[in-house]
Amino acid sequence: MTSARTSRGALGAPALGVALAFVPLAAPHNVTLLNLGFFTFLYVAQGLAWNILGGFAGYVSFGYAAFFGLGAYTTALLWLHGWTPVLTFPLAGLCAAVFSLIVGVPTLRLVGPYFSIATIGVGEAMRILMLNIGITGGASGLNLPTTVPSKTWFYLAALVMAAVAYAIATWVRGSRFGLGLAALRMDPDAAETLGVRTALFKNVAHVISAFLVGVCGGLFATYFQYLHPDTVFSFTESISLVLIALIGGLGTIWGPILGAAVFYAVQDYLQTSYPNFHLMVYGVLLIVILLFEPRGLAGLAARIAGRRRAPAPAADSPATIASKPAGNTP
């Protein structure tokens, strides 16, 4: 929660980010590598964004595809009207943010599993709606202009998105706002009686994360050049973000970063040779993680680092997810 405690680990990620920014210089024509980077960073950004509500505030949403899809379609439609895609990104985020407020105000009153179930409903309703209205091209999809920037540009743009999401998540976590989110996650009533405006805080967290995911959707639309409601509004897209945060470590900064890297690497590697096999891998990974290390890969890394550094790793109870920075991880 303090600058002193976060600063130690805060150096690792920016250094990693800067290093990754030089990859296109070293391998400017390695399209496979640049694509891998683009999608991984896009998932890192979304995982970090999802985690602001799902991890910090404890509201596990299964409906983030709605924000991703809205962002994608906002960019796509404005692009078809002659806008430069980059200029549409803020609007893509804004559109998702406004929608998150509309669904968040009523659904964030629900607790725990009830909220999660409601978000499934919202996500699926948006997908069905988008399949059936004309403006999105409906079930036949939407073809977008083919004049797009280079792969290097996309790689760097996604990296910037990930960096922005990282910066925002890190700030939230160390701030008074983050302390309020942690408090309301553990006991909303107690937080409220101590002066935390829980309803406002939950919605602000929701809006911030939806905005980021909306921008990611816009970037995705620009990259993919073809949109279909079943792609961007898919339940799989929603589940992906939950999986990334859970595999990596709920409520940590490094969790979504590690989670996204593993998630996309597994998918990318397995999907070509063994379609759908990656889903089984995720399932097994999820069970193993929930059973043996509920703090995910970030927790596992912290445990290994702790064992190496000090002989008594017991001090790191699973309880300190929120308060301990992920800074101990390499």
Partner 1 sequence: MTAPTRAWSSPADFPSSPLVLNSVTKRFGGLVAVDEVSVAIEPGKIIGLIGPNGAGKTTIFSVVSGKCAPTRGRVTALGHDITGWPPHAICRLGLCVTHQIVRPFTDLSVLENVMVGAAFGGGARVTGHDARGEAFAVLEFAGLAARADQPASALTLAQRKRLEIARALATKPSVLLLDEVLAGLTPSEVVQAVALVREICARGITILMIEHVMHAVMNLSHRVLVLNYGRLIADGTPAEVTGDREVIAAYLGAGTEETSHD
Q: Is residue 22 involved in binding partner 1 (CB under 8 A)?
A: no
The stretch among 98-106, 157-165, 173-181, 257-265 that binds partner 1 (CB under 8 A) is: 173-181
Distance, in Å, from the CA atom of 265 to the CA atom of 39, rounded to the nearest integer, reads 10
Q: Is residue 312 involved in binding partner 1 (CB under 8 A)?
A: no
Among 322, 325, 327, 328, binds partner 1 (CB under 8 A): 322
Q: Is residue 198 involved in binding partner 1 (CB under 8 A)?
A: yes
Distance, in Å, from the CA atom of 36 to the CA atom of 176, rounded to the nearest integer, reads 36
Q: Is residue 57 involved in binding partner 1 (CB under 8 A)?
A: no
The stretch among 43-51, 178-186, 209-217, 239-247 that binds partner 1 (CB under 8 A) is: 178-186
Distance, in Å, from the CA atom of 145 to the CA atom of 224, rounded to the nearest integer, reads 10
Q: Is residue 190 involved in binding partner 1 (CB under 8 A)?
A: yes
The stretch among 8-16, 117-125, 270-278, 319-327 that binds partner 1 (CB under 8 A) is: 319-327
- Polymer length in residues for the chain: 330
Task: Name which of 237, 60, 223 is nearest 144 in CA terms.
Answer: 223
Among 57, 182, 213, 262, binds partner 1 (CB under 8 A): 182
Q: Is residue 120 involved in binding partner 1 (CB under 8 A)?
A: no
Q: Is residue 191 involved in binding partner 1 (CB under 8 A)?
A: yes
Distance, in Å, from the CA atom of 329 to the CA atom of 283, rounded to the nearest integer, reads 25
Q: Is residue 2 involved in binding partner 1 (CB under 8 A)?
A: yes
Cβ partners under 8 Å of residue 92, min gap 6: 70, 71, 72, 74, 75, 214, 215, 217, 218, 221
Q: Is residue 109 involved in binding partner 1 (CB under 8 A)?
A: no
Q: How far is the CB of 7 from partner 1 (least distance, A)?
A: 15
Q: Is residue 180 involved in binding partner 1 (CB under 8 A)?
A: yes
Q: Is residue 195 involved in binding partner 1 (CB under 8 A)?
A: yes
Distance, in Å, from the CA atom of 103 to the CA atom of 23, rounded to the nearest integer, reads 40
Parallel, antiparallel, or unpaired: how do β-strands 142-143 and 226-227 relate?
Answer: antiparallel
C-beta closer to partner 1: residue 18 or 190? 190
User: Exposed e or buried b for every residue in 33-68, given b needs 16+ CB within 10 A?
Assistant: ebebbbbbbbbbbbbbbbbbbbbbbbbbbbbbbbbb
Q: Is residue 189 involved in binding partner 1 (CB under 8 A)?
A: yes
Q: Is residue 320 involved in binding partner 1 (CB under 8 A)?
A: yes
Sequence-separated contacts (24+) of 12-15 with Cβ below 8 Å:
12/327, 12/329, 12/330, 13/166, 13/253, 13/254, 13/257, 14/163
C-beta closer to partner 1: residue 10 or 196? 196
Cβ partners under 8 Å of residue 229, min gap 6: 69, 127, 130, 131, 136, 138, 139, 141
Among 121, 187, 277, 288, binds partner 1 (CB under 8 A): 187
The stretch among 166-174, 186-194, 221-229, 231-239 that binds partner 1 (CB under 8 A) is: 186-194
Q: How far is the CB of 204 from partner 1 (least distance, A)?
A: 14
Longest C-alpha distance within the chain, in Å? Answer: 63
Q: How far is the CB of 321 from partner 1 (least distance, A)?
A: 6
User: Do 56 and 177 meet the contact criterion of CB atoms below 8 Å apart?
Assistant: no
Q: Binders of partner 1: how many residues, by CB under 8 A?
A: 25
Q: Is residue 317 involved in binding partner 1 (CB under 8 A)?
A: yes
Coil vs helix vs strand at 52: helix
Token pair, residue 244, equals 């990334």
Q: How far is the CB of 182 from partner 1 (least distance, A)?
A: 6
Interface ranges with partner 1 (CB under 8 A):
1-2, 176, 179-180, 182-183, 186-187, 189-198, 317, 319-323
